[in-house]
Each structure stands twice: as C-alpha cells, then as structure tokens.
Structure 1
Amino acid sequence: MQQYYFNMSVSYEECQRFYRGQTKFVLVTDDNGKKIQLLFSHFRPYIDSLGIRGRFRLTLTKQATFVQLEKIN
C-alpha cells in the first residue's frame, strides 16, 4: 500500500462545478510534491457548506488503485 498526505481547500462554489458535471477530477499535490489526479467523487463525503477543507490521507495499492480517502483533521 502507498499513502499520500495533503491539504485541501476548495470553495463550495467550486464544488458546485462537480455537481453540474463540469468537473470530474481534481489534482492534488502531496506533502512531497507528487501530483495525484483523483475522481472528485471521492471527496463527496467531505463537502460541507464551506466546500472542502482539511488534511487528507490517500491510500492506494502498489498498482495505484484507489483504496481509501480519509480526512485526518
């Protein structure tokens, strides 16, 4: 398993682009500078009235298949 840590801050208005079908992916940069493209839908449980804010841990298999996205604070 591979784990990546990153901070995320996306406004509620930007999240609306996902619901309107204008955005399917989001590009994040982990703490070591690695860029990772994820389906925006993985962030759905973390959207609130402010959008998405917080620190996250992404877990992937060794083949880079999605396992889990967790908000860690």
Structure 2
Amino acid sequence: MACVVLDISLPLDRLQALYRGHVSRVQVTSRDGRRVNLPAHHLRPFVTHSGVHGSFELEFDDSGRLLALRRLA
C-alpha cells in the first residue's frame, strides 16, 4: 500500500459546488508532485465552517483505489 500527503485548502464557497452537484471530483497535487484525482465526497468528514483546510494522508492500494484518508496533526 502506498501513501501520499496532500495539503488541501478549499474555501467554503468552492465546496458549495460539491453540494450542488456541479463537481464530483477534486484534483490535488501531493507534496511529492503527484496529481491526485479524489472523489469529492471523501472530503465531507473534514468540512468546517471555513471549508477544508489542512494536511491529509491518502492511502491507496496497488490499483489506485482509495483505502483511507486521514487528517494529519
């Protein structure tokens, strides 16, 4: 299993497009330069009044399927 670290900063107004159904995926560049195309619904547990902000560890299997997304301290 592989992991990448993502630094995400999505303000609330950008997230509203997710809830309206206009956007279903979010593209983020990892710290090591890889582009990650993430289904937007995986960010819902991390939404605050200001949006989604912070560093996250994304764990995926050999075929690229998401196994876990965790906020880093």
CA distance in 2, matches of 1:23, 1:60: 22
1:10 corresponding residue in structure 2: 10
Q: TM-score by structure 1 length? A: 0.97
Q: TM-score by structure 2 length? A: 0.97
Q: How many residues align?
A: 73
Say which SS state the counterpart of residue 18 (structure 2) adopts: helix
Residue segments in structure 2 that go unaligned for 5+ positions in a row: none
Across the aligned residues of Structure 1 and Structure 2, the Cα RMSD in angstroms comes to 0.6
Residue segments in structure 1 that go unaligned for 5+ positions in a row: none
- Structure 2 counterparts to residues 34-53 of structure 1, below 5 A: 34-53=34-53
Say which SS state the counterpart of residue 15 (structure 1) adopts: helix
Cα shift at 1:6 = 1.4
Runs of 4+ in 1 over 3 A off after TM superposition: none
